[in-house]
């Protein structure tokens, strides 16, 4: 299955899942949405980073960048490592809009921006770990 086919499958599921949302997506944009494998996203960006470290994943230099990143992004919290930045938003809709506007990964209220130095395999492995820990 190609990345586009996976994206379309996820988007279709996301539309069904989000039918109760009060805002509508603008027709010229697609929202990149990923659902966790089980449960709902809980906690903040820092909570997910803590769970990742607890699982033994090496995160290089995690820093709370809320004061610099969240002013313009309007997020609640941002943690930046050498490999990715994760931001938590007040609502799933806020996260979806920010992710779509910046072509980033999103799960629930969390948005992830990977370092451009990571290979696709590294990004995929990190994304899998983040999505699983977001639902924990």
Stretch 39-58: mean pLDDT: 80
**1 vs 60, higher pLDDT:** 60
**21 vs 125, higher pLDDT:** 125
Residue 28 has pLDDT above 60, yes or no: no
The whole-chain average pLDDT of the chain stands at 78
- pTM for the full predicted model: 0.68
Buried b (16+ CB within 10 A) or exposed e, 41-61: bebbbbbbbbbbeeeebebee
pLDDT of residue 133: 87
């Amino acid at each position: 299955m190609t990345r586009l086919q996976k994206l379309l499958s996820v988007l279709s599921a996301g539309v069904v899942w989000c039918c109760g949302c009060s805002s509508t997506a603008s027709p010229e944009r697609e929202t990149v949405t990923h659902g966790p494998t089980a449960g709902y996203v809980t906690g903040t960006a820092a909570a997910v980073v803590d769970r990742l470290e607890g699982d033994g994943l090496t995160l290089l230099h995690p820093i709370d960048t809320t004061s610099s990143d969240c002013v313009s992004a309007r997020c609640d919290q941002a943690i930046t490592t050498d490999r990715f930045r994760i931001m938590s938003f007040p609502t799933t809709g806020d996260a979806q809009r920010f992710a779509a506007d910046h072509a980033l990964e999103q799960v629930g209220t969390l948005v992830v921006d990977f370092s451009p130095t990571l290979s696709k395999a590294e990004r995929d492995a990190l994304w899998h770990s983040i999505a699983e820990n977001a639902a924990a």
